[in-house]
Amino acid sequence: MKIGQDKLDQLCAEGVISSEQLECIVQRERDAKHSFLQRVLILSLSLLSAGCFVWGICLLLEQYWEQLERLGQIGALAVSLLLAWGGFFLLQKKQPVIAQGFALAGGGLWCACVLFINDRYMLNWQSSEFILLIFAGLALIPFVSRQILMIGVVAALSFMLVTITFEDNYIPFYGTVQMGKELAFLVPMLVALLWWLLAEHWRESNSRFRSYAWVGVPAFLVYLVVVQYYALYDNYLNDVSSMFPYCTVAAVGVALLFAFLRPSSPPPKTWRLLAVSTGLMLGTWYLGSGLEAVTIGVAVCAMYASVLMYCGVTGGRRSWVNYGVFMAVETMSGLMSNILDSLTQSGVVMLLIGLALLPVVGLVEKGRRTLVKAAVKNQQEQSAPQQ
């Protein structure tokens, strides 16, 4: 809980804390703020430095590219890769943030190398094959060295790879196969869920993987947005018997992921409730089309938002509470979009709706703050026995 300056002055005036303690608290807050700003500045400069490094190499290669023979072009790319990763290893201990910028530059240059091979030798790779090669060259790097930013690149590449593969019905280096629209939705969502669960599991770790927990935030937001879109706006009608295998895969996949990647802090009942509701959320895509499907989809989305907020409070996870509030707001928006679809062309009506929603936003934010405080309190109570 953060205490404002006015409250600190009041505590000092009441004699709860001394003037020396007040000065120490204020100085510590200033140092923490300075340290945070310094980290942000170093990170920004590191990314800018890596971008300038890659851009400078690209400009040099573009200037002299046609004058080089094939071996010279390959050598130039190889030297560029060596410079990027050499800078990473030299600065890894002294300047770890700047070193990660060089690592990102090395990843970008690896992408350039794959592009060069494809164009130079006219291999005509499919987009999924191209992403697979980039992914294969970078996938293990964050796991063998501390790469906080690279883990996000690897997660994004894996999601892109499965999405393109199943949407194009083309398996890299194998060929065209028959894969339905069901798998094109289901597999990428399971991949996004996998990264979120990995991040939740790493959050409890004391190793370098703890710093990778940030990747769960974009992964789970992507999961929520896409699943809710299919639940409310793009329900897919199909024969029930043909949907059974995909429903089974979704249910079994979610159950296995939640079973093997369970973090230690949430209570077992809370975790099982979250697992079951997540499986139901994936199943909303198979509802069909029409008003009934939309109604059920809205009900399931609202249920899932409530479960996320409840699990966030009981499990001491503020992020789950925020996910639940986000889900509730988006569900409300989807419901209004379906109800008021015929009124969207009226500017006056939309202005009135916007004004009417302002107090709702205030109530939602007030409720979110209350739930976050309850989650923090439960987290402190759960961690107290361990300490």
DSSP-derived secondary structure for 123-183: ----HHHHHHHHHHHHTTHHHHTT-TTHHHHHHHHHHHHHHHHHHHTEETTTEE----HHH
Model confidence pLDDT, tens digit, residues 45-61: 766 776 777 677 677 76
d(CA 8, CA 184): 56
CB contact at 8 A, 258 and 309: no
Owner of token pair 């091979």: 117
| Contact residues for 150 (Cβ-Cβ < 8 A; gap 6+) | 100, 103, 104, 107, 138, 141, 142
CB contact at 8 A, 305 and 324: yes
124: left (phi over 0), alpha (psi -120 to 50) or beta: left
Q: What's the pLDDT at 76? A: 78
Owner of token pair 């107290």: 384
Side-chain-side CA neighbours of 10 within 13 Å: the count stands at: 5
In this prediction the pTM is 0.75
Model confidence pLDDT, tens digit, residues 163-211: 999 888 888 988 888 877 778 888 999 999 999 999 999 988 888 899 8
Asked if pLDDT for residue 153 goes beyond 90, the answer is yes
Q: What's the pLDDT at 190? A: 94
CB contact at 8 A, 156 and 104: no
122: left (phi over 0), alpha (psi -120 to 50) or beta: left
CB contact at 8 A, 164 and 188: no
Asked if pLDDT for residue 37 goes beyond 80, the answer is no
CB atoms within 10 A of CB 324: 23
Owner of token pair 């410079």: 83
Q: What's the pLDDT at 1? A: 46
Tokens of 110: 């690896």
Closest CA to 191 of 139, 156, 144: 156
Asked if pLDDT for residue 154 goes beyond 70, the answer is yes
Q: What's the pLDDT at 98? A: 78
In this prediction, residue 69 has a pLDDT band, given cuts at 50, 70 and 90, of confident
Model confidence pLDDT, tens digit, residues 274-313: 999 998 888 777 766 666 777 788 888 889 988 998 888 8
If you average pLDDT over every residue of the chain, what do you get? 79
d(CA 99, CA 93): 8
Mean pLDDT score, 100-122: 84
Closest CA to 189 of 281, 301, 308: 281
The residues facing 171 across adjacent strands are 175
CA distances 348 to 82, 338, 355, 358, 359, Å, are: 61, 18, 11, 16, 19
Closest CA to 120 of 73, 54, 76: 73
Owner of token pair 């679809």: 341
Asked if pLDDT for residue 4 goes beyond 60, the answer is no
Asked if pLDDT for residue 117 goes beyond 90, the answer is no
